[in-house]
Amino acid sequence: MIVVTLICVVFGGRIEHLRRHMTFHESEAKRFYELGSLSSRPEEKLGCGVEEVEHEALAGAYRKAVCRPWTIVDEEQVRDWAAFVRFGMLPNSSEIAVPPEKQSP
């Protein structure tokens, strides 16, 4: 009974920690969306768009981890994935991703 209680306390603290990270990244995504929509310079809009997508992806990763508190959120991997989804860029690279059917033999 004591072991079950300790496990629940540990997972409860972990869930709260993940929920706070999720809330933070959701608010940052909203903030960057608003900054981008108010900006008149294209490079500022692009920069805010990149940050917005990264924070949305991180919020989603933390949201999923709340349901599975034993999982670890690797923020660097999530950011790489967000860049790939947003711009078709390979993680940690400046190469453009080309679909397999369009690659030359």
For the chain, domain boundaries: 2-94
- Which CA distances in Å does 102 have to 55, 58, 69, 105? 31, 31, 40, 9
CA contacts within 13 A on the Cβ side of 73 = 24
How many other CB atoms are found less than 10 A from the CB of residue 90?
A: 14
Print pLDDT tens along the chain (105 aa): 888 888 888 878 889 999 999 999 999 989 988 888 777 777 677 777 778 888 888 999 999 999 888 888 888 888 878 777 766 655 554 444 444 444 455
How many other CB atoms are found less than 10 A from the CB of residue 54?
A: 22
Report the predicted TM-score, pTM, of the whole model to 2 decimal places: 0.70
CA distance 8 to 67: 14
